[in-house]
Structure 1
């Protein structure tokens, strides 16, 4: 078991436990920051996903029930994997928002309980900032334009004057929500995630069907493309031919949907890169683990003489370690969340956070 105090009595590292539960994934992780260098070391990263039946989404009340049922065992596993004592932990970090109300509340209450039981200070964390800081730490990207794509969020972000500024975003539904809802039309499995299964089916697609393409400046819209894709899915299920008289398969529609929405994301990201003069792109959020999106973004960045950074599913998909890392960065600047203010909110903008730890 690690000893975090040097012979001089000074701590060699600070340790945080992070709790994430803004959607259907309950994640708890432990991270350590070296006191002298600030280097981050992931000690544990445990996750348990609520999976609903094919053709359905996950309801807030059912997801919240899942998080309450599994919180204790996931927390114990995270501590065991990390090999640290409760006495070594400096703070408890939790997702304050944005996200689904019921699941957020369940995990916030559990994190508050741990803080009271263990006598630790609380740090409320913005979910989006957690994704960004984890992506920066893992990839080493210096000052990239960030494409944040998940089930609940689609944003193009760049850092300026101690804020993560939003340059473009979805005007209606997030790209991940678009993919998830399309998966229901074909009753594509939600295990491990509908977006992942769409990605695998898309590899078998051969026909590119024209779908609505809605980019407005640096913003985009996905509701129209979802409606059209659902209409075509209904036709495929009835055995009808496509718009050009061809026989379409579910794989063709998965392929067409991916190509179209990802092209939209690449366009608005490139526009943001040109606007701020950036050469790096960092993709974060659950949809960011899609290899096809990474490849398309990489081709665009290469043409501009730049590069793209992304992580795998351990850090792209919602996890507790990103909350621990972002929370510990804030904690080290003196930020605390008083117990009486340890609430959560479904709406918490990325640019509301004062990023004191960056210069």
Structure 2
């Protein structure tokens, strides 16, 4: 027998303010992973239409760059993968349309990928985490997830806004730069904070709520900064401590419920070193380990979409062209994780 051909996927991510294209092999080797971020002026968020225009402008140069860095041609590609959802409608549409066109030009099958599951699978392959409880924290999502019986089950989540959205919106109040991201700039400012400001702490069973905390700190900021009672750094420090303590609490509760010792943090907020430190302390106290990645992989990227789509493709799944749509609502537990199917029939290593 000759050497088996390695499977290669090209993945497209464009669910929020980043457009990204990545090339990956089935063993998780990342051949290329370029991306471009739409950055708005301080004090402003990113709107769907303008974000989509940014993605349209940069997607084809990124395709060329991804192929060049990976040293591959379209002939080498086995499948094209794209983010089907969740995310913002107009930005999602860009990669869906581009993939549809390339699929017909290059005559390649397409795989629609769940953005949240892609973050998890990227985290698992990069860190080597086997079966952790996953804390998925980003600008649009906050979920505590664990794999059980063929699906990634959601054990707790935000009931209103995501933790990253809460941080981003407070960064706007302080007029912090959006370059490289508002959350990163809050993190740097928080390191200089000295005074802890009391804030609401809102955990409801396995779920969390952030909108009330945001309203409270917005009002507090206006009053206390005007009277010189605290600094912007104090407010950033206090906000991080409270939000992250809430996340550690619900993650630990899920660990106890699922009888798992390890935690994997994924998503853009997962880059935050203070969140990682707090989670690492909790994990070590329970005799477990924390797995986390740096900004190459925790922030939205094309490689995570390519890798997860390739797992599905290798197990016989493709998306018919007429179904290569996108959806702003796509639950993590809607996906049947067929590539992990066998694990569900094992208990303590024994077939059941």
Smaller-chain TM-score bracket: over 0.9
Alignment equivalent of 2:8, drawn from 15, 28, 44: 15
Q: Which residue is 2:227 aligned to? A: 240
Which position in structure 2 is the counterpart of 1:346? Answer: 328
Is 1:280 the equivalent of 2:262? yes
Query: Does structure 1 residue 27 correspond to structure 2 residue 56?
Result: no
1:76 alignment partner in structure 2: 64
- In 2: Cα distance, 1:268 partner to 1:311 partner: 21
State the match for 2:124 in structure 1. Answer: 136
Provide the secondary structure at the position in 1 that maps to 2:122.
helix
Q: Tell me whether 1:264 sits opposite 2:246 in the alignment.
A: yes
Tell me the residue number matched to 1:244: none
Whether the aligned pair in 2 keeps the contact of 1:124 and 1:327 (CA below 8 Å) is yes
Distance 2:329 2:319 in 1: 18
RMSD: 0.9
Q: CA deviation at 1:107?
A: 1.3
Give the Cα–Cα distance (whole angstroms) in 2 for the partners of residues 330 and 155 of structure 1: 23
SS in 1 for 2:7: strand
Distance 1:231 1:19 in 2: 40
Distance 1:256 1:308 in 2: 23
Q: Are the counterparts in 2 of residues 16 and 90 from structure 1 also a CA contact under 8 Å?
A: yes
Deviation at 1:115, TM superposition (A): 0.9
User: Counterpart in 2 of 1:36?
Assistant: none
Determine helix, strand or coil for the equivalent of 2:180: coil
Distance 1:11 1:279 in 2: 37
Shift of 1:11: 3.9
| SS of match in other structure, 1:62 | helix
Question: What residue is the counterpart of 1:3 in the other structure?
Answer: none
Deviation string, structure 1 residues 312-339 (Cα, Å, up to 9, x no partner): 0000000000000000000001101000
Equivalent-residue separation in structure 1 for 2:200 and 2:81 (angstroms): 41
1:15-50 alpha-carbon deviations (Å, 9 max, x no partner): 0000000000111000012xxxxx221000001000
Q: Deviations over 1:84-138 (max 9, x none)?
A: 1211100000000000000001111011111111110000000000000000000
Give structure 1 stretches of 5+ with no counterpart: 1-6, 34-38, 242-246
Residue 297 of structure 1, aligned match among 279, 282, 294 = 279
The alignment status of 1:104 with 2:97, answered yes or no, reads no
Q: Is the 8 A contact 1:236 1:250 kept in 2?
A: no
> What TM-score, normalized by structure 1, do the two folds share?
0.94
* Residue of structure 2 equivalent to 1:4: none
Q: What residue in structure 1 maps to residue 213 of structure 2?
A: 225
Aligned residues: 341
Q: Distance in 1 between matches of 2:184 and 2:287?
A: 30
Report the CA distance between 1:236 and its aligned residue.
Answer: 4.0
Report the CA distance between 1:12 and its aligned residue: 2.5
> Residue 133 of structure 2 corresponds to which residue in structure 1?
145
Post-superposition, which runs of at least 4 consecutive aligned residues in structure 1 deviate over 4 A? Answer: none
